[in-house]
């Protein structure tokens, strides 16, 4: 069981189509363990994860690969953003994708339909990807030098914030249907991210979502966060995101050269 969030990650599965056969509560908090012991377990888990993350980061830097960790609550539009991004970028840049979900390979199948290699990790009871599993996925995927690797994390605004995967940036996607107060309610995630994408802006005319307040809340939590607004569905605003991506890839390539 993951000592950070009690999510059962130690028993989860790394294989496509494999289903978890665990039973019992997904968030049992190890009754009987004293708080000091829990803190020690948390520190050990994060320290171990950080060692794997450092190895992944070294792997990316050695190859000039731009790795981005996409985090959000379920359904904010991560996979849609990826398929639309791939459609616009794949002729110029080599792309691979790691998909994290508790169950199913649906998202990896959506990515593969665009012609880009994707590997699905099913986390079972686990509510986030960790650096060790990402390292294994790299062995199978073998992303090209100077390419972009997107890692779509498990939909969850809490646990993925604590786990470094070795990425250059965490990118948090917030859809306008979720309410502008999310950066204040889930500050760890917005603090950990370098970029916030406000998605589904095509729906703004039908909602009372206050974009300015949302951006202000995000900056309150993380003054250095960059913000882009777009609609993955209509394509409005996609060009700023593509510009940001290409600029980041260039930086990674310069460091590699
Ligand atoms: N109106 C609108 N709908 C969108 C947009 N982007 C995604 N959607 C819809 O939102 C729903 C969820 O999209 P996904 O791309 O599956 O979201 P996700 O974040 O990958 O979901 P999980 O992987 O389950 O966490 C789908 O019905 C999409 O068609 C958008 O820009 N505008
Ligand atoms: Mg998805």
Q: What is the pTM of this model?
A: 0.91
Q: In sequence order, what are the residues at sequence separation of 6 or more whose Cβ sits closer than 8 angstroms to the Cβ of residue 190?
A: 172, 182, 183, 196, 218, 221, 222, 225
Is the distance from CB of 9 to CB of 131 less than 8 angstroms?
A: no
| Per-residue confidence band for 39, with pLDDT thresholds at 50, 70 and 90 | confident
Please determine, for residue 9, whether its predicted confidence score (pLDDT) is greater than 70.
Answer: no
pLDDT, residue 30, reads 58
Residue nearest to atom 13 of ligand 1 (CA): 77
Q: Pocket of ligand 1, candidates 80, 87, 241: which has the most ligand atoms within 8 Å of its Cβ, to mutate? A: 80
CATH superfamily of 30-256: P-loop containing nucleotide triphosphate hydrolases (3.40.50.300)
76 alpha carbon – ligand 1 mean position (Å): 5
- For residue 244, what is the enclosing H or E element? helix 238-256
pLDDT, residue 7, reads 66
pLDDT, residue 82, reads 98
DSSP conformation letters of 136-178: HHHHHH-PPTT-EEEEE--S-SSGGGG---S-SEEEEEEEGGG
pLDDT, residue 42, reads 86
CB environment 156-186: b (16+ within 10 A), e (fewer): bbbbbbbbbbbbbbbbbbbbbebebebbeeb
pLDDT, residue 35, reads 86
Q: What is the pLDDT averaged over residues 54-82?
A: 97
Please determine, for residue 60, whether its predicted confidence score (pLDDT) is greater than 60.
Answer: yes
Q: What is the pLDDT of residues 173-200, one digit of tens each?
A: 999 999 999 999 999 999 999 999 999 9
Binding pocket residue ranges, ligand 1, CB within 6 Å: 72, 74-80, 107, 155, 199-200, 202-203, 231-233
Residue 230 CA: which ligand 1 atom is closest?
A: 31
């Amino acid at each position: 069981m993951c000592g950070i969030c009690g999510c059962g990650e130690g028993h989860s599965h790394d294989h496509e189509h494999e289903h978890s056969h665990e039973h019992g509560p997904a968030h049992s908090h190890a009754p009987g363990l004293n708080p000091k012991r829990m803190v020690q377990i948390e520190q050990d888990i994060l320290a171990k994860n950080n060692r794997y993350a450092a190895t992944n980061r070294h792997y990316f830097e050695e190859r000039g690969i731009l790795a981005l960790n996409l985090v959000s609550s379920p359904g904010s539009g991560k996979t849609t953003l990826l398929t639309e991004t791939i459609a616009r970028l794949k002729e110029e840049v080599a792309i691979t994708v790691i998909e994290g979900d508790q169950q199913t390979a649906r998202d990896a199948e959506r990515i593969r339909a665009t012609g880009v290699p994707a590997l699905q990790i099913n986390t079972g009871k686990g509510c986030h990807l960790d650096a060790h599993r990402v390292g294994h996925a790299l062995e199978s995927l073998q992303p090209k030098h100077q390419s972009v690797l997107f890692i779509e994390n498990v939909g969850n605004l809490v646990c993925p914030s604590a786990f470094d995967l070795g990425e250059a940036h965490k990118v948090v996607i917030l859809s306008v249907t979720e309410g502008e107060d999310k950066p204040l309610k889930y500050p760890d995630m917005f603090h950990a991210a370098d970029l916030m994408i406000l998605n589904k802006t095509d729906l703004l005319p039908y909602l009372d979502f206050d974009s300015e307040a949302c951006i202000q809340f995000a900056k309150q939590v993380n003054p250095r966060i960059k913000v882009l607004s777009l609609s993955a569905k209509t394509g409005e605003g996609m060009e700023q995101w593509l510009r940001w991506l290409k600029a980041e890839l260039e930086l990674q390539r310069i460091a590699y050269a």
